[in-house]
Structure 1
Amino acid sequence: MTPRELVRRTVEFAKPARVPRQAWVLPWAEEHHPADVLRLRQEFPDDIVTAPGLYRQPLPVQGERYKKGLYIDEWGCRFDNVHGGVIGIVREPLIREWDDLDRFRTPDCTLAVDREAVNAFCASTQQFVLAGTLVRPFERYCFIRTTEQALVDLFRRPAEFHDLLGRLHEHYIREVEAWSATDVDGIVLMDDWGAQDRMLVSPVLWRDVFKPIYRDYCDVARQAGKFVFMHSDGRITEIVNDLIEVGVQALNSQVKGMGVAELGRRFRGRLTFWGEIDRQEVLPLGTLEDIRGAVCEMREHLYANGGVIGQCEFGPGASPDNVFEVFRAWRDLDAR
């Protein structure tokens, strides 16, 4: 069974031969633990990969996304990278006053996907391929206005808020259409909706404003035969059922903070849990026994003839030994 078929069977609850695996290796890990990263990729190669961002023309970015210093992305958003290996935050809004909205333009360059090059990449691998873009309407709004002002806008919801969000949504619909016309296997949505112990906004507001937006993306992707994956950090238990309803099939979230057993009770067999292993305490500070316990807990409560992807993040602070133990634990459970 190829990795591509393995992941498809997992998401469809069709009895895959084993749990698929994926390590999210951040540039921090490549810089601080290069030998471990190389060994990890050799011993536990990923079953899921992301297509490179292949466009007909280079995107107009300045600086490097994960290097210390200023990075300006293709939208013109300015990221202050204080540390190398992780992307920073936006301090200066692209739209400070609503008068600035008149000159704002979405980047059409990201719609000019080089379909032939993407298809060639997909044909070159047996891995399950995700689109080389992230559909992130809320986070993009935050990058444009700053997070603080974005939350104020969400509360007040002036006409300009709806105008800007509508423009972002229209652009991302076209991005989903562009990538859905390629041979990638899945589309990725990405918005962080949770804080440590609650949603950043009320679930009622989220359902009113953002649920229809995500439904549109899922409809476009799934009508084209693509799987829909999503990432969202924080405690988002209250909207998981909504994500399933709109068409999200695999969710990367902080399952420990929401309660693995509770998630399994409510959503097992309806949603694929795309990881993760707790990266706040367990990966950096846990023992090998803690790691195995976390993996066993996910298998016990979330697995249902599929429905679990063995994913973890090798990022700042993570113990290399613990990252390896995650994949050893999944391998050993599959061998039983």
Structure 2
Amino acid sequence: MNNLMKAITWQYPEEIPVSVGILPAVWLKHGEEFVKLAKEYPDLVPIIPDLNNIDVYIPRTYHAGTFTDEWGCVWSNLTEGMESIVTGHPVPNREDILTLEIPPNRDGRLPHGFMYLRLLDLRGFEEAMMDFAEECEELQILIDKVLEYNCRQIKAILPNAPELVVFGDDLGMQNGLAIGPDKWRKYLKPCYMKMYQMVKKTGRYVYMHSDGMIYEIIPDLKECGVDMINPQYRANGLENLERVCKGKIAVDLDLDRQLFPFATPSQIDDHVRGAVETLYLPQGGLAVKAEIGPEVPLNNVAAIFDALRKYKHYKG
């Protein structure tokens, strides 16, 4: 059992699991300079793309241009290497929900934003917010269609799924849930409960990423079956995460991406140390993750990598 699984299952990992995520735009911006830096940290950056064939390393939604997904959502992107957003919503009117067809594919693919964000992508943010505010009957119809599709996809992937099944859906904004915790519990908690229990019944574990302030519903996500949550440091606040997570649900802490471009290397070290000191328990329940964007200076990238290497050995 590796250290991440030991952390998730509270079995005293030898060290704190640490990882980094590097946006494709970083490789495009810095090129060989970033390759040189990455080679100094093979434990954190084990895969270095071939810059002469970089396209094969860039996911579809990170390419500049537009494309239409299986639901009919139109994705647009102005910047190669950064994430797209949905600009074309296939069901802008409530009556369109009634005739919306569930995509037939069963390829086991559930992209980031598979449930809550899918509703917003299909309807558009303002229309979706009105649906939740007015609690129209079409809202539940749309939720049921998306949930049915997701359950089909989960069923398709489970026979060959790894021990840890990863999901991603951004449930929060900077200051809380856009629909509030009560309506989330009414309309969406049953969806995550159904989907995650499909995984749990096979003896597997559930990892969930979510951007935004979500600390109010982390206990609910645990009830749904989440074994490790990947919340944002800045949006949730370290004190809130300590209160609702420490010793209760394993956390893969997403360090403060909004700090990285502007901090000094010593401030980055303090940031990582403070997070680890606050959430560490010897029995586990903690991993630490850093996402690197193109706006982070290379000396700060090195400082992030150094801090992760340093504090993964923290023992209290």
Q: Same fold, TM exceeding 0.5? A: yes
1:163 aligns with 2:141: yes
Provide closer, same or farther for how the CA distance between residues 303 and 44 of structure 1 changes in structure 2, counting only shifts above 3 A: farther
In structure 1, the partner of 2:229 is 251
- Pairing of 1:253-272 with structure 2 (within 5 A): 253-272=231-250
Which one of 62, 66, 77 corresponds to residue 66 of structure 1?
62
Cα distance change, pair 273–327 in 1 and its aligned pair in 2 (3 A): farther
Query: How far has the Cα of 1:168 moved from its partner?
Result: 0.4
Q: SS at the partner of 1:65?
A: helix
The range that moved more, 34-43 or 312-321, is: 34-43
Name the SS for the 2:67 alignment partner. Answer: strand
The equivalent of 2:306 in structure 1 is 328
Structure 1 residues 140 and 186: alpha-carbon distance in aligned structure 2, compared to 1, 3 A threshold: same
Which residue type is aligned with residue 77 of structure 1?
A: C
Query: How far does residue 29 in structure 1 lie from its aligned partner after superposition?
Result: 1.1
Task: Confirm or deny: 8 A CA contact 2:215 2:244 kept in the other structure.
Answer: no
Gap regions ≥5 residues in structure 2: 48-58
SS of residue matched to 1:43? coil
Distance 1:219 1:288, change over 3 A: same
Deviation by residue 1:147-175 (Cα, 9 ceiling, x = unmatched): 12111111112222111110101111122
TM-score (norm 2): 0.86
Count of residue correspondences: 301
- Is 2:2 the counterpart of 1:5? yes
Mapped to 2, the partners of 1:266 and 1:48 lie a distance apart of: 33
Unaligned ranges ≥5, structure 1:
50-62, 114-130
Distance in 2 (alpha carbons) for counterparts of 1:276 and 1:105 = 36
1:289 matched to 2:285? The reply is: no
Provide the secondary structure at the position in 1 that maps to 2:143.
helix
**Correspondence 1:1-336 to 2 at 5 A:** 5-35=2-32, 36-37=34-35, 39-40=37-38, 43-45=41-43, 64-109=60-105, 111-113=106-108, 133-134=111-112, 136-280=114-258, 282-304=259-281, 305-335=283-313
Deviation per residue, 1:120-173 (Å, 9 max, x gap): xxxxxxxxxxx8744621111111111121111111122221111101011111
**Structure 1 position 186, deviation (Å):** 2.1
1:35-74: CA deviation from partner (whole Å, max 9, x where unpaired):
325643661445999xxxxxxxxxxxxx942222212223
Q: Distance in 1 between matches of 2:66 and 2:212?
A: 27
Aligned to 1:118: none
Answer whether contact 2:218 2:244 (CA < 8 A) is retained. no
Q: Which amino acid aligns with 1:22?
A: S
CA distance in 2, matches of 1:267, 1:108: 38
Structure 1 range deviating more: 63-72 or 179-188: 63-72
Distance change >3 Å, CA 332–CA 278, structure 1 → 2:
same
| Alpha-carbon distance in 2 for matches of 1:156, 1:224 | 38
* Correspondence for 2:52: none
Counterparts in 2 of 1:64 and 1:242: CA distance versus 1, 3 Å: closer
SS at match of 1:24: strand
Displaced runs of 4+ in structure 1, greater than 6 A? none
Q: Counterparts of 2:233 and 2:18 in 1: how far apart (Å)?
A: 17
Q: 1:219 to 1:135 in 2, by over 3 A?
A: farther
Between the aligned partners of 2:141 and 2:152, the Cα distance in structure 1 is: 17
Q: Secondary structure, in 3 states, of the residue corresponding to 1:70?
A: strand
Give how far 1:206 is off. Answer: 0.8
Give me the whole-angstrom Cα distance separating, in 1, the residues matched to 2:224 and 2:35.
36
Cα drift, residue 34 of structure 1? 3.1
Matches of 1:48 and 1:224, distance apart in 2: 30
Q: Per the alignment, do residues 21 and 200 of structure 1 end up closer, same or farther by CA in structure 2, a change over 3 Å counting? A: same
How far apart in 2 are the matches of 1:269 and 1:287? 32
Relative to 1, partners in 2 of residues 1:105 and 1:97: Cα closer, same or farther, differing over 3 Å?
A: same
